[in-house]
Amino acid sequence: MTIKMQRKTLFLIAAAATALGTMTTEIAAAPAPLQGDAAATGVFTGRDKFGETSGEAMYRNVCAACHMPDAKGAEGAGMYPALAKNPKLEAGGYVLSVMMQGMNGMPPLGRMMTDEQAADVTNYVRTHFGNRYKDRMTPADAKAARPQ
């Protein structure tokens, strides 16, 4: 309900501003700050790839929509597990495999990333939010986790 209203409000503002000729099409087309809707955050470079160049940016723009900016997860329409202080993240291959294969409500978002992007965001979550797993996943590890 809240999300629908936000989207509607933004459209109304954009429509009004466009009508007044005060807004470029780029701004009028700016994405709504919606949570849980990665496709609406404008992070895609093409039809099916993310453009983020750091693990941190990827986390903020993609993962945070469901796992929350503080990575503590959320409960509501679904159960979004905390990535913060999550012992399962010790296995970097587990993170990569969840991202590449998906798991129930977790979409296989890694398939929309390069091997490097997938390794970067994996390393980011494994070294932030109270996680201290220093061994780094490489693009080769990411590649190996993709569905064959």
Q: Applying CB under 6 A, which residues contact ligand HEC?
A: 38, 58, 62-63, 65-67, 78, 80-81, 83, 86, 88, 95, 98-99, 103-107, 109, 121, 125
In whole angstroms, the minimum distance from the beta carbon of 125 to ligand HEC comes to 5
Residue 110, CA distances (Å) to 39, 52, 54, 142, 144 in order = 14, 12, 14, 9, 12
Nearer to ligand HEC, 18 or 102 (CB): 102
> For residue 125, what is the enclosing H or E element?
helix 115-126
**Toward ligand HEC, which CB reaches closer, 18 or 35?**
35
Query: Is 14 or 146 the residue whose CB approaches ligand HEC more closely?
Result: 146
CB of residue 110 to ligand HEC, shortest distance in Å: 7
C-alpha span between 27 and 21 (Å, rounded)? 12
**Alpha-helix runs per DSSP H in 1-114:** 2-19, 25-28, 55-58, 64-67, 92-101
CB of 30 to ligand HEC, least distance (A): 20
Minimum CB separation from ligand HEC for residue 33, in Å? 15
Separation in Å, CA 62 to CA 12, 20, 65, 66, 115: 26, 33, 6, 8, 16
Please identify, using beta-carbon distances, which residue of 10 and 81 lies nearer to ligand HEC.
81
